[in-house]
Amino acid sequence: MKLLFICGSPRNGNTEWMLKYLHGLAVGDGSEAELLLLRKLDIKMCNGCLACEAGGKNRQGLCAIKDDMQGIYPKLIQADAIVFGTPVYFEMVSGLLKNFMDRTCPVWTRLEDKRFAGIAVAEEGIGAAVDNLKTYAAVCGMSWSGCVTALAKKPREAQKIAGIAAKLEQLYLALRRG
Predicted confidence at residue 172, as pLDDT, reads 98
- Report the side by side order of strands in the sheet with 115-122: 32-37, 2-7, 81-87, 115-122, 143-151
Alpha-carbon distance 45 to 6, whole Å?
17
Tell me the per-residue pLDDT of 35-77, one tens digit each, with 9 for 90 and over: 999 999 999 999 999 999 888 788 778 899 999 999 999 999 9
Domain of 41: which CATH number? 3.40.50.360
Tell me the per-residue pLDDT of 94-115, one tens digit each, with 9 for 90 and over: 999 999 999 999 999 999 999 9
Domain count of the fold of the chain: 1
Identify the domain containing residue 142 by its residue range.
2-177
Alpha-carbon distance 74 to 72, whole Å?
6
